Amino acid sequence: MKTLQLPRSPKVLLGLGIVGFFIILTVVGPWLAPDNPSSTAYAALLGPSTHHWLGTTSLGQDIFSQLLVGARATMVVALVAGLVATLLSMVIGISAGYLGGVSDDGLSLLSNVFLAIPGLPLLIVIDSYLPVTSRSNEFVIGLIISLTGWAWGARVLRAQTMSLRNRDFVEAARIIGESRSRIMFTEIAPNLLPVLASSLLFTVLYSIGAYVTLAYIGLTSTATWNWGTMLYWAQANNAPLSNEWYWFVPPGICIALVGTGLALLNFGIDEFINPRLRAGGLSARQRRSLGLPRRPRLGLTPVLAPRPRTARRNVVSS
Amino acid sequence: MTDVDAPTARLSARGLTRHFTTRVPGRIFAAKRVTRAVEDVSLDLVAGRVTAVVGESGSGKSVLARMLARIVTPTSGELYLEGSAIALGGRRTLNYAAQVQLVLQDPFASMNPVHPVRHSLERPLLIHGARKSEVDELARSVLARVALDPPDRFLDRYPHELSGGQLQRVSIARALCVQPSVLLADEPISMLDVSVRLGILNLLKGLADHERLAILYITHDIASARYLADETIVMYAGQVVERSRGTALIDRPAHPYTQLLISSVPDPSSRPGVDASASASRSFVRAEVGCAFAPRCPHATARCRVECPPAFAIGDGHLSRCWLHADQEGVSVDLATPDRQREGEATKT
Amino acid sequence: MSASRIDVGNRLDRRGASPSREATPSARDFVLEVSDFSVHYGVDANMVRAVHDVTLNVRRATVLGVAGESGSGKSTLVYALTRLLRPPGVISGGRAILNVSSDDDPARVTPVNLTTASERELRRVRWSHVSIVLQSALSALNPVRRIGREFDEVLRTHRRAMSRRERRRRAEELLALVGLEPDRLNRFPHELSGGQRQRVMIALALALDPELVVMDEPTTALDVVTQREIITELAELRARFGFAMIFITHDLSLLVELADEIVVMYAGTIVERASAGELYAAPRHPYTLGLLESFPPLHGERRELTGIAGSPPDLAVESVGCSFAPRCPFTMDRCRAETPPLAPIGETGRSVACWLHATPSPVPVPAALSRRWTAPVGPTAPGVTSR
């Protein structure tokens, strides 16, 4: 098995750092929060200070505490929705791609329908039918979001599966008598791991967007804290118009940061799938130390100047 | 060479045919074109014997192997496993998989890159009824059978860590795990380095000689067929054009296509009695009527272009589908039927 | 073959003007001179030594065969020589000099050092003086261009004076040379068979009348019958135009028929070089012997052959001693400790890298490797002998 090693690219490391930070925040955020985010014990609309790092709302709630507590709900919904949607797209996409024929037609139709229906309105409709008690349940909301987010991944996985379906190792598995489900999920699926990972990142990103939107337009319980409800209350109290930036900018920045982190991580997956992206095999530092031109050029293989180091290597080996 | 021990065929095919229908591109009212990939091929795979099928790419030899493995469904024809008829059209069953195994051409592509060798060997063992506790022991013994020693060095390796020759041995080991009676090998050496090819050929030969497997060896390399074969079949454009017991057809090629094939093989030592300039036409065209080889044949006559020749016996078990041999003995026999079968029928009547 | 004449007056004069073969080897005799050439993949700890200290010369108007298995470095060598090797390939040492004869004065030969040449110089030399035919014609031809475009482009870049109509005429001539009808110019690559595509590649390589054509396994993907046709054609073309050729293949018996001189490569080094006839009749390196014995014969008694035990070495692992020692049936202690140099043996100018043939001989040379070479077998492909 390939040993896991830290990626070289600074982009990927940064992405890893950002996403890791927010995942830690998900776990420890509510414990770190200095105050109860709903408590209205303070004066209204205080600016940022050493007491209230991000000021207070018009009801006198501590915004920093809201941000920390809200991280958990936001991230939990995003992760649940991302995982469930990826699982759905995997089962549906691989089955459609491998089985072909009628199953493919049916499953493709299903995913095309879900692709064609605009996700957000559907989400709003489903959500408005939910009993109010489940609107505050992150898992229920996550499941509903995943329902609108699996179709694109399924399309991609179906296409990838179709290109693997006739590969020799799949045929070899058929020859020894392997069952269809085992071929799909132990022979084909592991080969799609990079695609699955990429699909997971994007559905997580989509889910954050969808959840924040739902909360922002007031379709989740406004009593539970997440970054969307923070924006909802800020908007409801005209914060953007009265220059109370400390109320709505921090949750916005957090959402943007998680998105950036996920996108940066995806670069890592690209490099993992396509090693050719790695600057022609030699890192910039190596090229510099060898006195080679910075950019590799096709049709001009570099020639190393005779150096003591190279000479010694030759002597040792000959 | 002889039939004294009256061997029974493990796997027999009668009149196997496969047509592919493709649409002619560029037409709205698409005329359908039928490609005759394999046309009326019969053969018997006998325990302890290697049957070699030789042909160029496009001759239908790989489709033939896949029909025998029941991965491709024949358009028509019959299959008999240990004498009992197999219903065509159905899926490849577990029982069939336990008897007939196929080794694919490209050892690098036929191993799943994400699984170690152990997985490739344990899966067939588990599928075909081995107990979990004995699987490890069995996998080791199979690796030893294909001369991958010591087994511990290979069990936990990934395909990209092994060479082509080693992978092809693993591939053969995987097929042997189910203890088949018939092994179909589709160009098993063509992707391998020259220096390890003989090792694989000797392994196949050993499996036939010592473990009494019935082996079908498919190749485009007529010299390797000569090295292995107990029966040799030459295919051109989906048809059997020449067949003989042993390697008679390589030593004394009768059909113009076989002659062309043999004269084309690079051979620095002398090449007796074959004219290399016989390759009159370059294009690989398959004639729609008449003899399929006629457009390229230096001996083609008017008759060849209108009438497809039947097979003519030109020696002991040596048949050629060519009008040149029509008057040799004056007997026309059905080339599609292997000689043993014919002899059997002759005694019955 | 009713091919139209190609303008080769220059080339024939050039050959006529060059000094006779017996003269001391000079720049005029050799079209390519390579010395101590080494190629690495990567430079760090994961470096792979793909080609190591290779020295070889290609005589004008002859065929040099390069035989070896995958991983022997044969393809890497020629790609690096022409500086076409892709990253992470790096030329780590040695020299490669292409002796280019000038177009106006054929007797004048200018050496071009390929390892120091600028991109502009390389562009000038490639195709007009040295051209390459690759194994896979399908990936070398642009799938969305008609064949004619490829010819047009080459001629337009290198023969500025030609008019559009002249270029078309020339393209038709070139196709006729390799036995294809002119209407193929209007086809797309996928509409041609494998053999036809490879013929197009050969015609393209000859478009500018080069002095050296490099063929990297041009027939490996083809059927034997097509291979035979192409080899025969190549011999005819060479007899007519007198270009030199480097022919790379794993098929030693094909090389013996085709080449004048053969080098056998193993694990990035040359282990033996000899004339084709000598190599076939009396191999001196155990690996060459093993390779020759790896091809089952087409006639004679059927007997069991053993090939070569083991598998090719992993070049990423630096080894001590002869790289063939682990597979060699004649290994001695010295083989595991010291790498044998490529040293001349006998009087015919052949060389071998094997301690068995060191003087004074450490042990009696095994019978299989001390066979006497008597009658010249020579290339048997038609056309070659008429040279």
Q: Which of B193, B263, B265 sits opposite C312 (nearest CB)?
A: B193
- The H or E element containing residue B26 is none
Q: Is the pLDDT of residue A22 over 70?
A: yes
Residue in A168, A178, A190 closest to B123 by CB = A178
Query: Which residue of A303, A304, A310, A318 to mutate against C (max C Cβ within 10 Å)?
Result: A303
Confidence (pLDDT) at B9: 87
- Cα-to-chain-centroid distance, residue C124: 21
pLDDT tens digits along C126-154: 888 899 888 776 778 888 889 999 899 88
Matching residue, tokens 């969307």: A228
ipTM of the complex: 0.82
The CATH classification number of C1-129+210-387 equals 3.40.50.300
Q: What is the pLDDT of residue C106?
A: 67
C116 lies within 8 A of chain A by CB: yes
Domains contained in chain A, number: 1
Kindly state the average pLDDT of the residues B149-159: 87
Name the least confident of A198-212, B19-33, B309-323: B19-33
Q: Please tell me the predicted confidence (pLDDT) of residue A273.
A: 60
Name the closest residue on chain A to residue C89, using Cα atoms.
A301
Q: Which amino acid, residue C205?
A: A
Q: Answer whether residue C277 shows pLDDT above 60.
A: yes
Do B106 and A168 count as a contact with CB atoms less than 8 A apart?
yes
* Contact check, Cβ <8 Å, A167/B109: yes
| pLDDT above 80 (res C121) | yes
Among A59-63, B35-39, C34-38, C141-145, the range of highest mean pLDDT: C34-38
User: Which residue range forms the structural domain that includes residue A205?
Assistant: 10-31+61-277
Q: Who has greater pLDDT, B89 or C275?
A: C275
B139-148, C221-230, C308-317: which is most confident: B139-148
What's the CA gap between C355 and C366, in Å, rounded?
Answer: 12
Q: Is the peptide bond before B150 cis (omega within 30 degrees of 0)?
A: yes
pLDDT at B256: 92
pLDDT digits (tens, 9 = 90+) for C219-243: 887 888 888 888 888 888 898 888 9
Query: Chain A partners of C92 at a C-beta cutoff of 8 Å?
Result: 304, 310
Question: CA dihedral in degrees (B90, B95, B98, B104; nearest 10)?
Answer: 10
Amino acid found at B22? T
- What is the separation of C-alpha A304 from the centre of its chain, rounded to a whole number of angstroms? 43
The reply to whether residue B71 touches residue A171, judged by beta carbons under 8 angstroms, is: yes
Q: What is the pLDDT of residue A295?
A: 65
Mean pLDDT of B262-274: 68
- What is the pLDDT, as a whole number, of residue A308? 43
Look at residue C378 and tell me whether its pLDDT is greater than 60. Answer: no
- Give the residue on B whose Cα is nearest the Cα of A189: B114
What integer pLDDT is reported at residue A34 of this predicted model?
79
With bands split at pLDDT 50, 70 and 90, how would you rate the model's confidence at C384? Answer: very low
What is the phi/psi pair of residue C54, to 5°?
-95, 130
pLDDT for B18 equals 92
Q: What is the mean pLDDT of chain B?
A: 82
The range of the structural domain enclosing residue B342 comes to: 230-246+256-349
> Nearest by CB to A169, which of B92, B110, B175?
B110
**Residue A69 in tokens:** 């507590």
CA angle C154–C213–C129, rounded 5-degree value: 55
Gyration radius of chain A over CA positions: 25
Q: Once rounded to an integer, what is the mean pLDDT over residues A23-45? A: 81
Phi and psi angles of residue A177, each rounded to the nearest 5 degrees, phi first: 95, 20
Q: How far apart are CA A155 and CA A93, in angstroms?
A: 6
Cβ distance A304 to C53 less than 8 Å, yes or no, reads no
Residue A304 makes CB contacts below 8 A (sequence gap 6+) with A290, A292, A310, C43, C90, C91, C92, C93
Q: What is the pLDDT of residue B349?
A: 33
Q: State yes or no: pLDDT of B282 exceeds 60.
A: no
B199-218, pLDDT tens digit by residue?
899 999 999 999 999 999 99
**Domain assignment present for A317:** no
Residues C30 and C64 sit within 8 Å (Cβ to Cβ): no
Per residue in B72-102, pLDDT (tens digit) is 889 999 999 988 888 876 667 888 999 999 9
Contact assignment for C318 to A317 by CB distance below 8 Å: yes
Strand pairing of B182-186 and B214-219?
parallel
Structural domain includes residue B237:
yes
Chains A–C, number of C-beta pairs less than 8 Å apart: 62
- Check residue A272 and give its pLDDT: 65
pLDDT per residue over B176-190, tens digit each? Answer: 999 999 999 999 998
In angstroms, the separation between the Cα of residue A302 and the nearest Cα of chain C is 5
User: What is the three-class DSSP state of C220?
Assistant: coil
Q: How far apart are CA B184 and CA A251, in angstroms?
A: 65
The percent of residues above 70 in pLDDT, for chain C, comes to 86
Task: State whether residue C37 sits within 8 Å of chain A by CB.
Answer: no
The nearest alpha carbon in chain A to C317 belongs to A317
Sheet holding C130-133, edge to edge: C130-133, C212-216, C244-249, C63-67, C261-266, C269-275, C350-352, C343-345
**Is pLDDT of C286 > 50?**
yes
| Residues C9-26: b if buried by 16+ CB within 10 A, e if exposed | eebeebeeebeeeeeeee
The CA distance from B288 to C321, in Å, is: 61
Q: Give the pLDDT confidence score for residue B31 in this predicted structure.
A: 65
Are residues B113 and A169, on separate chains, in Cβ contact within 8 Å? yes
What residues of chain B have any CB closer than 8 angstroms to a CB in chain C?
56-57, 163-166, 193-199, 201-202, 220-224, 226-227, 247, 250-251, 260-269, 271-272, 276, 279, 282-284
Examine residue A298 and state whether it is found in any structural domain, yes or no: no
> Is A298 touching C (CB cutoff 8 A)?
yes
Contact at CB, C305 and B227, closer than 8 angstroms = yes
Nearest by CB to residue B101, choosing from A175, A190, A191, is A175
pLDDT category, C19, cuts 50, 70, 90? very low
d(CA C336, CA C345): 22
Residues 6+ apart with CB under 8 A from C317: none
Q: Which residues of A touch C77 (CB under 8 A)?
A: none
Per-position b or e across A111-132, b if 16+ CB within 10 A of its CB:
beebeeeebeeebeeebeeeee
Closest chain B residue to C300, measured at CA: B251
Contact B346, B337 (CB under 8 A): no
Note the helical H segments in chain B: 61-68, 94-99, 117-127, 132-145, 152-155, 164-176, 194-211, 222-228, 248-251, 256-264, 302-306, 326-329, 339-348
Contacts of B69 in chain A (CB under 8 A): 175
Where residue A241 sits, what CATH number does that domain have? 1.10.3720.10
Single-letter amino acid, residue C179: G
Chain A residues with CB under 8 Å of B112 CB are 169, 172-173, 187, 190-191
Averaged pLDDT score across all residues of chain C: 81
Quick check: helix, strand or coil at residue A250?
helix
Residue of A nearest to B116 (CA): A1
Please judge whether A176 and B177 are an interchain contact, meaning their C-beta atoms are less than 8 angstroms apart: yes
How close, in Å, is residue A282 to chain B by CA atoms?
A: 22
Query: Parallel, antiparallel, or unpaired: how do β-strands C130-133 and B311-315 relate?
Result: unpaired
pLDDT at A286: 66
A22 contacts: CB under 8 Å, gap ≥ 6: A71, A75, A254, A257, A258, A261
pLDDT band at B138, cuts 50/70/90? very high
Return d(Cα A16, Cα A14) in angstroms, integer: 5
Separation in Å, CA A279 to CA A287, A296, C41, C44, C83: 10, 8, 14, 15, 18
Interface partners of C (3+ CB pairs, < 8 Å)? A, B
Give A143-146's long-range contacts (Cβ < 8 A, gap of 24+): A143/A80, A143/A81, A143/A84, A145/A77, A145/A81, A145/A85, A145/A206, A145/A207, A145/A210, A145/A211, A146/A80, A146/A81, A146/A82, A146/A83, A146/A84, A146/A85, A146/A88, A146/A203, A146/A207
- Does residue A139 lie within any of the structural domains? yes
B40: helix, strand or coil = strand
Residues of chain B in contact with residue C307, where contact means CB-CB under 8 angstroms, are 195-199, 202
Nearest to C128 by CA among C103, C161, C105, C108: C103
Please state the domain count of chain B.
Answer: 1
* Distance in angstroms between the alpha carbons of the first and the last residue of chain C: 17
Q: Does C121 touch chain A (CB under 8 A)?
A: no
- Chain B residue numbers with beta carbons less than 8 Å from the beta carbon of A176 are 97, 101, 123-124, 127, 174-175, 177-178
- Other CB atoms within a 10 A radius of the CB of residue B235 amount to 24
Instruction: Considering only the beta carbons, identify the residue of A297, A304, A316 that sits closest to C92.
Output: A304
How many Cβ atoms are within 10 Å of B278's Cβ, its own excluded? Answer: 17
How far is Cα of residue B22 from the mean position of the Cα atoms in its chain?
25
Q: Flag if C122 and A300 touch (Cβ within 8 Å).
A: yes
Does C309 contact B199 at a Cβ distance shorter than 8 Å? Answer: yes
Alpha-carbon gap: A172 to the closest alpha carbon of chain B (Å): 6
Strands (E), chain C: 30-41, 48-59, 63-67, 89-101, 109-113, 130-133, 212-216, 244-249, 261-266, 269-275, 343-345, 350-352
Question: What's chain C's length in residues?
Answer: 387
Does B1 score more than 90 pLDDT? no
Considering chain A, what percentage of its residues have pLDDT values greater than 70? 84
Q: pLDDT per residue over A148-163, tens digit each?
A: 889 989 999 999 999 9
Nearest-by-Cβ selection for A174 from B71, B113, B128: B71
Which residue of chain A has the CA closest to C80?
A301
B234 phi-psi bin (left φ>0, alpha ψ -120 to 50, beta other):
beta
Q: CA torsion, points A274, A278, A281, A285, in degrees to nearest 10?
A: -170
Residue B281 has a pLDDT of 43
Question: What digits encode the pLDDT tens for the residues A77-102?
Answer: 999 999 999 999 999 999 999 998 89
DSSP-assigned states of every residue in A211-240: HHHHHHTT-S-TTS--HHHHHHHHHHTTTT
Sequence letter at residue A201: L
d(CA B188, CA B101) in angstroms, rounded, equals 13
The answer, for C270 touching chain A at a CB cutoff of 8 Å, is no
Residue A41 lies in a domain: no
Cis peptide preceding B159, ω within 30 of 0: no
Facing residue for C115 by CB, picked from A290, A297, A303: A303
pLDDT class for C2, splitting at 50, 70, 90?
Answer: very low
Is residue C212 within 8 Å of residue C58, measured between CB atoms?
A: yes
Helix axes A245-273, A193-216, angle to 10 degrees: 170
Which H or E run includes C108? none
The whole-angstrom separation of Cα C14 and Cα C7 is: 13
pLDDT at A3: 44
Q: Specify the DSSP class assigned to residue A56.
A: B
**Domain locations along chain C:** 1-129+210-387
Say whether pLDDT at B173 is over 90: yes
Among A282, A290, A304, the residue with its CB nearest the CB of C87 is A282
Q: What is the pLDDT of residues A163-201, one digit of tens each?
A: 999 899 999 999 998 999 999 999 999 999 888 988 999
CA–CA dist B285, A82 (Å, integer): 55
CB proximity list for B40: less than 8 A, separation 6 or greater: B15, B16, B17, B77, B239, B336
Assess if residue A297 is contained within a domain. no
Query: How far is Cα C207 from Cα C151, in angstroms, rounded to an integer?
Result: 8
Contact flag C92-A310 (C-beta cutoff 8 Å) = yes
| A45 found inside a domain | no
Distance in Å, alpha carbon of C121 to nearest chain A alpha carbon: 11
Per-residue pLDDT for A242 more than 90?
A: no
In a domain, B340, yes or no: yes
C-alpha span between B64 and B74 (Å, rounded): 9
Query: Closest Cα of chain B to C28: distance in Å?
Result: 31
Q: Which residue has the higher pLDDT, C353 or A45?
A: C353
pLDDT digits (tens, 9 = 90+) for C173-224: 999 888 888 888 998 888 888 888 888 999 999 988 899 999 988 888 788 8
pLDDT band at C83 (very low <50, low <70, confident <90, very high): confident
Q: What is the pLDDT of residue A184?
A: 94
Q: What is the pLDDT of residue A239?
A: 75
> Average of pLDDT values for C104-124?
82
Tell me the C-alpha to C-alpha distance, in Å, between residue A248 and each of A228, A240, A241, A253.
10, 7, 11, 9
Nearest CA in chain A to C53: A314
Query: Are the beta carbons of A300 and C92 separated by less than 8 Å?
Result: no
* Structure-block tokens of residue B95: 């029982």
CB-CB neighbors (< 8 A) of C195 in chain B: 282, 284
Inside any domain, residue B134: no
Kindly identify which residue of chain B lies nearest to residue C180, measuring between CA atoms. B282
